[in-house]
């Protein structure tokens, strides 16, 4: 066990003193240990957050091998490891209509130090399995999880990851693909690399479509559709900077897609594109520039018209981005952009969409991440002042690892203070970090963040390293933090009742009751300042939240004599493109102070055409000037800085036990410190030395000779790459010792990589640990 038993936790919580809510406002507090570095995560339900890591040497073990999956309990802040078969490194992910989540792709099997696994795929350029880490090739994997609750049997296969490519797999290998839910709840999976690299191109770029087999310019669907896969020409046009393309479903059913400095509106059914003007200033926002990108809240006030906000990233010149191997400049010296742009992809007047300059961020950020808050504001967290995402053991201008000033990190200057953007504020006043605490933990490459049902924000991850490294300047990070936005200065929050379990697309409205104890002051004023919103946090990885959306439901109200409010709430608009079917949390806010979110399913819970009905018809507002709230006025402050109109007992162990958790955190910290101290004295600390066959860095020229390292996730050797001798991180350098390069150059013949028909499980055990059942 990594933590004290639950009985100790219960004892600590039982003796906790009542919380002081105002002290939480703007603060960042300890949230426990993730056990695996939180490269990816999503909220499964009102109790659990699911975490995924790349296959690497985490100290936490499961079934005799390092774990790279975990589930974190919101109430106890404890994590439990989960078994995942394949290497999830740089997957995409999305929700499904029934509340399940699915991830797509990843990387080949790896072993210690990120070297290729022990059992190679045909051609020898990636691995199907590793005998030490026991991970399988994940490049075509489709993994499905049905989130469970504490009342469920977590030992059951129904609560575990289904991950077996012999039953469920994509048609193509995809690493850094994008995923977006569609109107029927199916998922489109777009592009990616076939194996890996810093950016998705050779240099010079003579084959922008496939890069000799290293790039994947097609798209496919889950569930799979019939017919041959088609090339998405936009991916060819944006060659190089087209990993994790920013993709959002529009009201028309077309997709807004942005990569490199290009933007299109894409009809994926006919594979036709409408190009938009280039991004001003040539600022790149996709990986590895990794700007903060989100769709602004959809509200009745803006007629549910989507506007995209793109902030930060990098305007490095094209040459500087380099190729699969590494950047051609020392990125950590290049400032990230602070520029912000808005664009409305489907303007109602039919005009050509244009980027519009917005307020600059307070500082430049790469790897900044937007989290939409229940009050309609956007929080940005994490990231660095300089450089890009990604990691490397060299750049073109810094040819040895010993010369790298920040270890493998290609970014520097961690931004430790969050900031909040108000989309409804006047230009020039939309950004603020007033009253927000700074973290002490750098959150750079492979960091993550997610809104929790209690309206706080979970922040985790950071691991710009090929394998676990606890001693480098930006180490592998397991500590979770919880950020409490300014509305936590209010100790009284709305406590709505009557929220349905399902939200439909159109149809009869429903009523929610908010008691007088949920607010103070005039009932009419409170009712006028109440919103009911659907919020979906999405699947987060690499400073983005795939599927994140905020949609305000229309509502009217009746003020009752006892001061309670009856909210007459419309169903979702009868257009599933606005908020795709699947899980969400419903929040009620009063004067910008949110309730706890209530878990709901939007749509019918099935993949397929969603039933729709006429938009809900609501009664008129009925106020009562004599009615008022019964809460203490001093307990409802905190929403005054929030410009938003419109189930709260705060999760007891999260807020009610803050003091106890602090004590418990110290106990856990001592326990883990002893455990790590013991581990550091043994070779099993995963020093990440390259395996045999590692090769040295060649001449510092774009096409200079540089031999291959036997690695898939650290060297990122792309399959069928034109420039086989120029592989990213092609060195067997020890990353926790002085640089040493004793590799012997060797040639590399052209190969086909893993074919669609190759079974990566055919000659290895079908599973490690408990066998999983087929659906």
| Position 6 confidence tier, pLDDT thresholds 50, 70, 90 | very low
The per-residue pLDDT for 639 is: 54
Give me the mean pLDDT over the 745-773 stretch.
Answer: 35
The per-residue pLDDT for 9 is: 31
Cβ(209)–Cβ(190) under 8 Å?
no
Nearest partner of 169 among 135, 145, 191, 144, judged by Cα = 144
- Per DSSP, helices labelled H in 410-550 are 523-528
| Position 244 confidence tier, pLDDT thresholds 50, 70, 90 | very high
The per-residue pLDDT for 577 is: 98
The per-residue pLDDT for 775 is: 29
pLDDT tens figures, 274-311: 999 999 999 999 999 999 999 999 999 999 999 999 99
| Mean pLDDT of the chain, nearest integer | 84
Give me the mean pLDDT over the 36-58 stretch.
Answer: 98
Is 626 exposed, middle or buried (CB count within 10 Å of its CB: 0-12, 13-18, 19+)? exposed
pLDDT more than 70, % of the chain = 79
User: Token pair for residue 507?
Assistant: 């149809």
Between residues 60 and 123, which one has the greater pLDDT? Answer: 60
pLDDT tens figures, 71-85: 999 999 999 999 999
CA dihedral 406, 407, 408, 414 (to 10 degrees): -30
Distance in angstroms (rounded) separating the CA atoms of residues 579 and 547? 9
Give me the mean pLDDT over the 609-628 stretch.
Answer: 98
> Is the per-residue pLDDT at 196 higher than 50?
yes
DSSP structural state of residue 321: G
| Position 664 confidence tier, pLDDT thresholds 50, 70, 90 | very low
Cis peptide bond upstream of 645, omega within 30: no
> Is the per-residue pLDDT at 733 higher than 70?
no
The per-residue pLDDT for 195 is: 87
The answer to which of 14-28, 66-80, 667-681 has the lowest mean pLDDT is 667-681
What is the pTM assigned to this prediction?
0.85
Give me the mean pLDDT over the 381-405 stretch.
Answer: 98
pLDDT tens figures, 172-192: 999 999 999 999 999 999 999
Domains of the chain: 23-489 (2.130.10.80), 502-630 (2.60.40.10)
The per-residue pLDDT for 385 is: 98
Cis peptide bond upstream of 585, omega within 30: no
The answer to which of 415-429, 544-558, 742-756 has the lowest mean pLDDT is 742-756
> Is the per-residue pLDDT at 266 higher than 70?
yes
Give me the mean pLDDT over the 620-626 stretch.
Answer: 98
pLDDT tens figures, 541-584: 999 999 999 999 999 999 999 999 999 999 999 999 999 999 99
- Per DSSP, helices labelled H in 656-697 are 658-680
> Is the per-residue pLDDT at 5 higher than 80?
no
Distances (CA, A) of 203 to 248, 322, 675: 30, 7, 46
Give me the mean pLDDT over the 244-253 stretch.
Answer: 98
The per-residue pLDDT for 690 is: 31
> Is the per-residue pLDDT at 765 higher than 50?
no
Distance in angstroms (rounded) separating the CA atoms of residues 394 and 466? 13
Q: What is the CA radius of gyration of the chain?
A: 25
> Is the per-residue pLDDT at 647 higher than 70?
no
The per-residue pLDDT for 57 is: 98
């Amino acid at each position: 066990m990594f933590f004290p038993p639950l009985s100790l936790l219960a004892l600590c919580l039982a003796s906790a003193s009542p919380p002081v809510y105002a002290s939480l406002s703007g603060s960042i507090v300890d949230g426990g240990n993730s056990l695996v570095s939180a490269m990816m995560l999503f909220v499964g339900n009102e109790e659990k957050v699911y975490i995924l890591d790349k296959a690497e040497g985490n100290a936490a073990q499961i079934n005799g091998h390092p774990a790279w999956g975990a589930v974190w309990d919101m109430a106890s802040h404890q994590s439990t490891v989960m078994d995942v078969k394949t290497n999830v490194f740089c997957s995409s992910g999305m929700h499904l209509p029934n509340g399940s989540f699915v991830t797509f792709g990843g990387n080949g099997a790896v072993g210690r130090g990120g070297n290729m696994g022990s059992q190679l795929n045909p051609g020898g350029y990636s691995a199907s399995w590793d005998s030490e880490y026991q991970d399988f090739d994940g490049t075509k994997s489709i993994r499905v999880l049905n989130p469970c609750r504490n009342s469920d049997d977590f030992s059951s296969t129904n609560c575990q990851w289904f991950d077996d490519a012999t039953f469920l797999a994509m048609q193509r290998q995809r690493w850094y693909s994008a995923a977006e839910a569609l109107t029927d709840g199916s998922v489109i999976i777009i592009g990616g690399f076939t194996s890996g690299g810093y950016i998705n191109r050779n240099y010079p770029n003579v084959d922008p479509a496939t890069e000799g087999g290293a790039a994947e310019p097609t798209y496919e669907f889950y569930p799979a559709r019939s017919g041959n896969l088609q090339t998405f020409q936009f991916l060819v046009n944006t060659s190089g900077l087209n990993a994790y393309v920013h993709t959002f479903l529009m009201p028309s059913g077309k997709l807004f897609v942005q990569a490199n400095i290009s933007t299109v509106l894409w009809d994926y059914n006919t594979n036709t594109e409408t190009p938009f003007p280039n991004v001003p200033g040539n600022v790149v926002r996709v990986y590895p520039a990794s700007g903060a990108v989100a769709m602004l809240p959809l509200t009745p006030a803006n007629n549910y018209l989507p506007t995209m906000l793109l902030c930060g990233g990098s305007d490095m010149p094209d040459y500087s981005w380099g190729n699969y191997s590494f950047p051609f400049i020392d990125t950590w010296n290049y400032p990230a952009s602070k520029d912000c742009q808005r664009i409305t992809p489907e303007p109602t007047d039919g005009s050509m969409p244009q980027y519009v300059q917005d307020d600059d961020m307070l500082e430049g950020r790469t790897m900044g991440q937007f989290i939409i808050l229940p009050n309609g504001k956007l929080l940005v967290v994490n990231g660095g002042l300089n450089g890009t995402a990604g990691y490397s053991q060299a750049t073109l201008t810094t040819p040895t690892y010993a010369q790298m000033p920040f270890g493998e990190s290609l970014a520097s200057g961690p931004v430790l203070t969050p900031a909040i953007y108000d989309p409804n504020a006047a230009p020039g006043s939309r950004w603020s970090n007033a009253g927000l605490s700074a973290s002490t933990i750098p959150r750079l490459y492979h960091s993550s963040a997610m809104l929790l049902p209690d309206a706080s924000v979970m922040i985790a991850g950071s691991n710009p390293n090929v394998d676990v490294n606890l001693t480098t300047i930006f180490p592998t990070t397991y500590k979770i933090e919880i950020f409490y936005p300014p509305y936590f200065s209010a100790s009284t929050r709305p406590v709505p009742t009557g929220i349905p379990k399902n939200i439909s697309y159109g149809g009869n409205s429903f009523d929610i009751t908010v008691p007088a104890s949920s607010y103070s002051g005039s009932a009419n004023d409170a009712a006028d300042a109440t919103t009911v919103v659907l919020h979906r946090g999405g699947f987060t990885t690499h400073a983005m939240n795939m599927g994140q959306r905020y949609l305000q439901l229309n509502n009217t109200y009746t003020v009752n004599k006892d001061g309670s409010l009856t909210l007459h709430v419309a169903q979702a608009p009868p257009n599933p493109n606005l908020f795709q079917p699947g899980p969400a949390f419903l929040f009620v806010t009063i004067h910008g102070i949110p309730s706890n979110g209530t878990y709901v399913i939007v749509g019918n819970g099935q993949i397929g055409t969603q039933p729709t009905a006429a938009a809900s018809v609501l009664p008129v507002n009925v106020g009562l000037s004599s009615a008022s709230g019964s809460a203490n006025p001093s307990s409802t402050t905190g929403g005054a800085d929030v410009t938003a109109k419109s189930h709260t007992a705060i999760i007891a162990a999260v807020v009610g036990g803050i003091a106890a958790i602090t004590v418990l955190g110290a106990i856990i910290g001592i326990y883990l410190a002893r455990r790590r101290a013991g581990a550091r004295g043994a070779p099993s600390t995963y020093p990440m030395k390259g395996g045999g066959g590692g090769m040295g860095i060649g001449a510092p020229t774009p096409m200079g000779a540089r031999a291959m390292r036997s690695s898939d996730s650290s060297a990122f050797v792309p399959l069928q790459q034109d420039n086989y001798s120029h592989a990213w991180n092609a060195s067997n350098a020890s990353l926790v010792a002085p640089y040493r390069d004793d590799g012997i150059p060797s040639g590399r013949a052209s190969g086909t990589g893993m074919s669609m028909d190759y079974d990566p499980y055919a000659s290895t055990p079908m599973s490690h640990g408990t066998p999983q059942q087929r659906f």
